[in-house]
Amino acid sequence: MVEDAEMLIVDDNPADDSMVIHNPWRQLRQFTAARIGIGRAGVSTPTRETLEFQLAHAQARDAVHTELDIESLKQQLILLQQEFPQINSQPPLVLNSRAIDRVTYLQRPDYGRQLDEAGFASLKPHYTKTPYDLALVIVDGLSATAIHQNAVKFISSLLPLLLKEIPDFSLAPISLVNQGRVAIGDDIGEALNARAVLILIGERPGLSSPDSLGLYLTWSPKRGLTDDKRNCISNVRLAGLSYAAAAHKCFYLLSEARRLQCSGVAIKDRSTEKIIDSSAVQTSFLLDSKVDRKGVDGK
Amino acid sequence: MGQSYRYQLGSKTYQFADLAELMAKATPARSGDRLAGVIAESAEQRAVAQLLLAEVPLKTFLNDTLVPYEDDEITRLIIDDHDAEAFSIISHLTVGDFRNWLLTDTVSTEVLKQVSAGITPEMAAAVSKIMRNQDLILVAQKCRVVTSFRNTIGLPKRLSTRLQPNHPTDDVNGIAASMLDGLLYGSGDAVIGINPATDNVAQATRLMNLMDEVISLYEIPTQSCVLTHVTNTLECIENGAPVDLVFQSIGGTEKTNSSFGFNLAILAEAQQAALSLNRGTVGQNVMYFETGQGSSLSANAHHGLDQQTCEARAYAVARKFSPLLVNTVVGFIGPEYLFDGKEIIRAGLEDHFCGKLLGLPMGCDVCYTNHAEADQNDMDNLLTLLGTAGCSFVMGIPGSDDIMLNYQTTSFHDALYARRVLGLGAAPEFEAWLEKMQIMSNAGLAQLTNHLPPAFAGTLSSSAVKHYHG
């Protein structure tokens, strides 16, 4: 049975396709990864598309349960430290939330937001009286895959910006967190004494995007802050927001946070305004001037 | 504070400290109440709490406010705006009698409309807790809430759709491709609504312009919305952007909304600003709200209440501002609040019922995330049940896959399935447009044409598409 299902999905020419009405606008998939123009049997999704969807869902379900590869991440971060000697030379800190495993994690977000006791103890030696400018916190969230694929690459795009614009920038040791949620960055930032914390976290996997990284910036982190005190940049991945664009936005938000001494809804992200204003003719094919208007007027 | 509640069952005495605890323990099981520590400790305790709740007079909810009046502007809104005259028809009833009354043959659409302003969210939540799924469907189906902007939402035997053409980088052509797909599958009469990937005034303005131009060019009788923070939309309006609907996610306590970064005064300001643009042609319902069980707990702002009661209180916020659409995004929040298909389905029916009873144009994002114990079959069930219950609108997205928000909601195909199997149509103005554009040959039967509609054939052969082809 399994073999039959695979054959159906890889076969480009199903035996009898006459019952399926195809959509010529499927060609617009050049513009998007969305499942457009999938055609129909009656008004329903054709067999092949239905089964492909089920396969994607099965893969996303499996991705939720993948574990963070701590050793590999540590190695990559050590290489990064060699590339940017100005950043903190301490080895990455490995921390755990109060959620002891994935099953607990999925049901107890409150545990995922809190650092466990051992974590607080291991952060103590890294506390400084002169606050760090920024703490980077890498968290598995709901997709360790997103962290594996994007976290270090994003950091290596961000660091040159920071070091160029703010020469004496001080970075806390980088933290790696298992079974964590966004707010665990508050515990960590507070324990380290960081002016700001940037959380890199695996977002909930989508069918077409099991690898989406989210970034959350919080000024003056401390336990109990609510989400209106954070700024979010979403969907950082190869097929989404590029590392360079994400780093640019992130740097903008951090600069604003430093200037205004706050983060969250008080800061409006205007990082792309210049780009958007300068390209007034940002139109789509739907508004192309050559559109045949006959049908529009109903004639 | 109010009284405690006690029930003797054989040799066993059940005691509930206050009305909030009684409500919570009477709630059908769900993971969010377990997370909050307010869930019934046993199935028997839940059943006993339901028996006791059925004995509580509706009047009690006006005196025993679950969140103190002085602490919470939503409690003040509920109490201060309560319509005593409308309430007088049901003021003698207990919660249990209220269920019977709602199911009575003589309680018609008109009677429910008359009473609506006298029902508080807590009364609606309480009665829903002792109703079975079929009761929630039957009574909701009797409610009618009609709203309008450029078309009419909520008429009998109608099921509208929000076309949700999200794109992970807000790419204009990517969004346009999903919009076209949706329109050609007959979707988009409730609203064309984009969740922007980045919450940014310039980006929102750009997306508003795109949708406004498409709606104008193809003369689509519908409205657009960028689902950005209300303060962003206010700024867009000040800058002269073409804002049809103002969006905001809302919760049922002041503290929840404060964690979302707004209060009632800001919503009032935004509503006035949108009204001043006078862009509606059929009506002037200018607000679009989203809700969902679990948001208050998620913000640690639930005041010890169960999540369904918090959700119902959010509807008090919504009805203050005469929205065009209210959408309960039922399965988006994840398994820590609604664990599996069964809990998602129950919550969707409760939210739809409570919203309709309170006079709201209730739609539902029939959805789940990949970390929940749910799948397409669960969504088929909920969609069919909500369609039967007279749900105002559902989402429409290419192939059920939201590539920006990373969750699964109903597809364009799903909406056509529901329309066909339940004999439902789109909003009448939109239905006429679908036939005029030759997208459908018989919109009443959800019959799509087999050829490419001429107005869009030109679009697809346009230079832009060809250019990108090369």
Check A204 against B177: CB less than 8 A apart.
no
Residue A235 has phi, psi (to 5 degrees) of: 65, 40
Q: How far apart, in Å, are the Cα atoms of B86 and each of B104, B110, B121, B126?
A: 18, 12, 14, 19
Chain A neighbors of B298, CB-CB under 8 A:
109
Q: What is the pLDDT of residue B22?
A: 98
* Cα gap B149→B182, rounded to integer Å: 20
> Of A57, A108, A293, which has the smallest distance from its Cβ to B375's Cβ?
A57
> Of B34, B168, B258, which has the smallest distance from its Cβ to A235's Cβ?
B168
A84 or A9, greater pLDDT: A84
Q: How far is B269 from chain A (nearest CA, A)?
A: 17
Q: How far is B437 from chain A (nearest CA, A)?
A: 6
* Cα gap A170→A153, rounded to integer Å: 20
Could you give the 3-state DSSP secondary structure of residue B224? strand
* Torsion of Cα atoms, A206 then A207 then A210 then A214, to 10°: -20
Q: Is the pLDDT of residue A36 over 70?
A: yes
What are the residues whose beta carbons fall under 8 Å from the beta carbon of A152, sequence distance 6 or more? Answer: A73, A76, A77, A80
pLDDT digits 0-9 by tens, A265-296 = 888 766 655 444 433 435 788 887 444 443 33
A20: pLDDT confidence band, cut at 50, 70 and 90? very high
Strands B5-9 and B12-16: antiparallel
CB pairs under 8 A between A and B: 262
> Of A31, A277, A294, which has the smallest distance from its Cβ to B174's Cβ?
A31
Q: Are B308 and B293 in contact (CB under 8 A)?
A: yes
**pLDDT less than 70: residues of chain B:** 1, 462-470
> Which residue is closest to B198 within chain A, CA to CA?
A233
DSSP A130: S
A12: pLDDT confidence band, cut at 50, 70 and 90? low
Q: How far is B359 from chain A (nearest CA, A)?
A: 30
Check B174 against A277: CB less than 8 A apart.
no
> Of B179, B371, B411, which has the smallest distance from its Cβ to A64's Cβ?
B371
Check A110 against B35: CB less than 8 A apart.
yes
Determine which of B170, B370, B395, B417 to mutate to test the interface with A (most A C-beta atoms within 10 Å).
B370
Q: How far apart are the first and last CA of chain B?
A: 72
Determine which of B198, B249, B343 to mutate to test the interface with A (most A C-beta atoms within 10 Å).
B198
Q: What is the pLDDT of residue B188?
A: 98
Mean pLDDT across the stretch A152-158? 97
Q: Is the pLDDT of residue A9 over 70?
A: no
Six-digit token string for B268: 């009032």
Q: Is the pLDDT of residue A60 over 50?
A: yes
Determine which of B181, B184, B257, B437 to mutate to test the interface with A (most A C-beta atoms within 10 Å).
B181
Chain B neighbors of A294, CB-CB under 8 A:
454-455
pLDDT digits 0-9 by tens, B141-174 = 999 999 999 999 999 999 999 999 999 889 999 9
Chain B neighbors of A32, CB-CB under 8 A:
167, 171, 173-175, 177-178, 403
Check A43 against B417: CB less than 8 A apart.
yes
Q: How far is B33 from chain A (nearest CA, A)?
A: 11
Determine which of A21, A36, A272 to mutate to test the interface with B (most B C-beta atoms within 10 Å).
A36
* Cα gap A9→A50, rounded to integer Å: 10
Q: What is the pLDDT of residue A299?
A: 32
In the block, tokens 């918090």 appear at: B310
Check A40 against B413: CB less than 8 A apart.
yes
Mean pLDDT across the stretch A192-205? 95
Q: Are B233 and B209 in contact (CB under 8 A)?
A: no
Six-digit token string for B259: 């964690």
> Of A25, A57, A233, which has the smallest distance from its Cβ to B460's Cβ?
A25
Check B174 against A32: CB less than 8 A apart.
yes
Provide the 10 A C-beta neighbour count for residue B121: 28
pLDDT digits 0-9 by tens, A219-259 = 999 998 988 899 999 889 998 899 999 999 999 999 999 99
Q: What is the pLDDT of residue B469?
A: 43
Chain A neighbors of B165, CB-CB under 8 A:
34
Q: How far is B87 from chain A (nearest CA, A)?
A: 37
* Cα gap A285→B180, rounded to integer Å: 10
